[in-house]
Chain A
């Protein structure tokens, strides 16, 4: 009797485990990365991560793509990949709509489509691997600045254009974040707009320092803005006294981190983005996921990932670049 119970228990356990276990990732999956542009350091870095993942699950990967960022040039590549019977296409779209009919045709023939970095309309792909949510970006930025100025003092935002959709969404979340008790001593005094123009951003930063002499820190959530602002601070008496953070690329910001103008700034890690996109593609091809909300798949060193609303998988928190790690990145 006891024996039987044990056997039954073992059987139940085994069945339960089987129900939980997903089909394993297939070997030899062909995955093609199609970035907006080849020979662009950002996409080269993403492909490095994508390639690493493909190696881990023993797939066959390649990257192809146009040297100009036109939508029409990507279309001919999609057709070519279809003719080559690739199992999955991982694409960063130059145009949210132009690729859709062609990607739909590919999906109709059983090809799995993952977008990364830049999405298409959602019926044109199975899964979108997004860099970070608007929420994460905004809250991480505030946290980063708060740390640099000891949660205290006047702050400003140097944005892109007044009607940039993503910038405004972030600013809204930042304002909300600043109402939290731990940030009660931080005061947002001004939102300036550099129009994503180097010269204009430079003069706007200069203007901020003149208009608000007590300014302790600036968030510039745009790569053009933050590098222009850093250049101004670097040559001014405020260097090292006024904190500057935001979204930038390591190559643009390296000298300012090294000369002490900037302590730390953030961006998603493109290598991880490519890595995650590869795993999403493999999970689709192997039948672990279909792109529905709530489905889970394992993404190697990035752990278990869950598909959110509209088939979006989010890479997660931003990567902070500072003196300790900036030399590991080249994009």
Chain B
């Protein structure tokens, strides 16, 4: 892996690095344990990642637009609780799902409204709604758990595509990932996110509807979190107020590791997906090799530091290299 020194190629370089790391992790996993590279294990591995992967898609869009949504896991918890409450109250499942998705959409819209209408930083807003939505989740369901979901629905979360080892939710993820990639990389809307994230003032002058775009992003994030909540609830056949607790950190870790700049304006869907799987593969391989939990947490932490450090370090190196080049030129004159 050479370190590319042109700005445009540096992003590609990071993606290539991540993909190479995924390959390396797969190799490492298969040497650590014979059980790693089996269809059943890879199936379990991806099944365990699906909620993180889903929410990471919308988080990618938000972070590229230089915002953040810390409330995603709380929205998921609240939506899971609502799904449980509705089902316990004998609401037909399709209607219960629609209402659950509606609640998530509304929660996301509220985030977006606070950010755009009141001009508050999304970091502060979503720290607040992180607590608010989790609190509402407990208000809805308390410490109860609803579990008696019909097998047809739980199988959608837990089951495999007939005749294969592919978990059903992964199919939904692949479709949504393709859709997100097309929207981000091949539509004017997608390009506008990079523009807003790189320089919001310039984007405004260029006539982009920054507020409307951001409102839409947060609303979509809420909808996606609700969808992930439905998947989560069926996958574990358990609706609880503490479902998906702490998931926002895994999502943001994956987005940053995937090469999306925390300052906005940079990143790609493929990088983020690769990063989600990189983290998942490493954790699965280390668990299979009976590496203790503490080491797992440390490795995940180091990966996260690497994710912030990697792109920045390469940029700094480049800058330093550029300065030296200029200095050398100046000396020659």
Chain A residues engaging chain B, CB cutoff 8 angstroms: 38-39, 62, 64-68, 70-72, 75-77, 79-80, 82-85, 95-98, 100-101, 121
Residues of chain A within 8 A (CB-CB) of B236 are 71-72, 75, 95, 97-98
* Bound CA–CA A206/B147 (angstroms): 40
**CB proximity of B316 to chain A, nearest CB, Å:** 34
A97 touches which of B237, B244, B246, B293 (Cβ 8 Å): B237
A98 and B288 within 8 A (CB): no
Q: Can you report 11 A-B residue pairs in the complex whose CB atoms are below 8 A from each other?
A: A39-B293, A65-B293, A72-B232, A72-B236, A75-B48, A77-B287, A79-B41, A80-B287, A83-B41, A98-B236, A121-B147
Q: Which residue of A lies closest to B242 (CB)?
A: A70
B284 and A80 within 8 A (CB): yes
**CB proximity of B43 to chain A, nearest CB, Å:** 9
Chain B residues engaging chain A, CB cutoff 8 angstroms: 33, 35-36, 38, 40-41, 44, 48, 145, 147, 154, 158, 232, 236-238, 240, 242-246, 283-284, 287-288, 290, 293-294, 297
Q: Given A83-B41, A84-B33, A95-B145, are A67 and B294 neighbors across the interface (CB < 8 Å)?
A: yes
B246 and A71 within 8 A (CB): no
Residues of chain A within 8 A (CB-CB) of B238 are 71, 95, 97-98
**CB proximity of B54 to chain A, nearest CB, Å:** 14
* Bound CA–CA A101/B234 (angstroms): 11
B237 and A76 within 8 A (CB): no
Residues of chain B within 8 A (CB-CB) of A76 are 44, 48, 283-284, 287
A83 and B158 within 8 A (CB): no
* Bound CA–CA A29/B275 (angstroms): 38
**CB proximity of B80 to chain A, nearest CB, Å:** 11
B293 touches which of A66, A71, A75 (Cβ 8 Å): A66
Q: Which residue of B lies closest to A121 (CB)?
A: B147
Residues of chain B within 8 A (CB-CB) of A100 are 237
* Bound CA–CA A26/B297 (angstroms): 36
Residues of chain B within 8 A (CB-CB) of A85 are 35
A101 touches which of B145, B158, B232, B297 (Cβ 8 Å): B158
* Bound CA–CA A64/B44 (angstroms): 18
* Bound CA–CA A176/B44 (angstroms): 50
Q: Which residue of B lies closest to A77 (CB)?
A: B287
**CB proximity of A222 to chain B, nearest CB, Å:** 15
Residues of chain B within 8 A (CB-CB) of A66 are 293
Residues of chain B within 8 A (CB-CB) of A80 are 44, 284, 287-288
